[in-house]
C-alpha cells in the first residue's frame, strides 16, 4: 500500500481538530501506530492539542522553526514503529517543514495527514498551507455554513469583540485574539463597515 500526504483544510471552527482526534482513535483501534505533531508557535494548549469540545491529547512532536522533521522522525523510528503522522495547525509550518513531511512519506513510508487553515485573517495563504496545496497527494475541504447560508471561508479576527483587519499574520485563537469564521460576502461586508 503506497503512502500519501493529505491536507484537510477549513475555516476556524469547522472541526479540523475534532477530525484529527477521530482519525487518531480510529487508526489506533485498527492497530496502527500514530504520532501527533504541531508547530510550537501554536501556544494554545502548550504541548497538547485541544478541540472545541475540550478533548485534549499530548503531542509527540512540538515543531520549532529550526527543526528538521525528517531527521526527527528518522530518529524516532530507531526506537518505535510508526504508520501515521497527524499534524495539527499545519498552516503554521514553514515550507521546508512541508517538504520534510513529503520526504517522510516518500522515503520513510509513513502516511502524513495535515489539518489546518487555508488562509489568515486577511484572506491570504499561510506559508505551510500554500506548500500543502502545491504538493499534497490529497486535498480535502471541511465545510461549515455561514449564518447567511454561504460557505465559511474567511477567519475574521476579533479584538475586544470588534473585527480587525490589520496586524501580524499570526495571533493565536483564545490567546492573542478570537476569531469568527465568515463567508466571503459577510467578511467583505464587515470589512467595508469597519474600514476607516
pLDDT in tens, 27-85: 999 999 999 999 999 877 778 887 777 678 899 999 999 999 999 999 999 999 999 99
What is the domain-level CATH number for residue 128?
A: 3.40.50.300
* DSSP track, 59-127: -SEEE-TT--HHHHHHHHTTTS--SEEEESSGGGS-HHHHHHHHHHHHTT--EEEEEE-SB-TTS-B-H
Number of domains in the chain: 1
pLDDT tens digits for range 81-130: 999 999 999 999 999 999 999 999 999 999 999 999 999 988 899 999 99
Does the residue 163 lie in any domain? no
Does the residue 189 lie in any domain? no
Determine the Cα–Cα distance for residues 83 and 164; give it in Å rounded to an integer: 42
Does the residue 176 lie in any domain? no
Does the residue 28 lie in any domain? yes
Residue 51 lies in domain: 5-143
Does the residue 175 lie in any domain? no
Does the residue 152 lie in any domain? no
Residues annotated catalytic, as ranges: 89
Does the residue 103 lie in any domain? yes
pLDDT score of 175 more than 70: no
Tell me the pTM: 0.91
Torsion of CA 22, 25, 29, 35, to 10 degrees: 120
Q: What is the CB-side half-sphere exposure of residue 167 using CA atoms within 13 A?
A: 14
Does the residue 185 lie in any domain? no
pLDDT score of 174 more than 70: no
Amino acid at each position: 500500500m503506497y503512502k500519501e500526504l493529505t491536507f484537510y483544510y477549513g475555516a476556524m471552527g469547522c472541526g479540523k481538530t475534532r477530525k484529527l482526534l477521530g482519525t487518531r482513535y480510529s487508526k489506533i483501534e485498527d492497530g496502527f501506530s500514530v504520532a501527533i505533531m504541531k508547530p510550537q508557535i501554536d501556544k494554545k494548549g502548550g504541548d497538547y492539542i485541544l478541540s472545541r469540545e475540550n478533548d485534549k491529547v499530548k503531542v509527540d512532536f512540538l515543531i520549532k522553526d529550526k527543526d528538521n522533521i525528517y531527521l526527527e522522525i528518522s530518529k524516532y523510528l530507531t526506537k518505535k514503529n510508526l504508520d501515521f503522522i497527524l499534524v495539527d495547525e499545519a498552516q503554521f509550518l514553514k515550507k521546508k517543514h512541508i517538504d520534510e513531511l513529503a520526504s517522510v512519506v516518500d522515503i520513510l513510508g509513513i502516511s502524513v495527514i495535515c489539518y489546518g487553515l487555508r488562509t489568515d485573517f486577511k484572506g491570504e495563504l499561510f506559508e505551510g498551507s500554500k506548500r500543502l496545496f502545491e504538493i499534497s497527494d490529497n486535498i480535502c475541504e471541511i465545510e461549515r455554513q455561514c449564518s447567511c447560508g454561504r460557505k465559511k471561508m474567511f477567519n475574521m479576527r476579533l479584538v475586544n469583540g470588534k473585527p480587525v483587519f490589520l496586524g501580524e499574520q499570526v495571533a493565536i485563537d483564545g490567546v492573542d485574539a478570537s476569531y469568527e469564521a465568515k463567508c466571503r460576502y459577510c467578511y467583505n461586508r464587515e470589512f467595508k463597515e469597519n474600514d476607516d
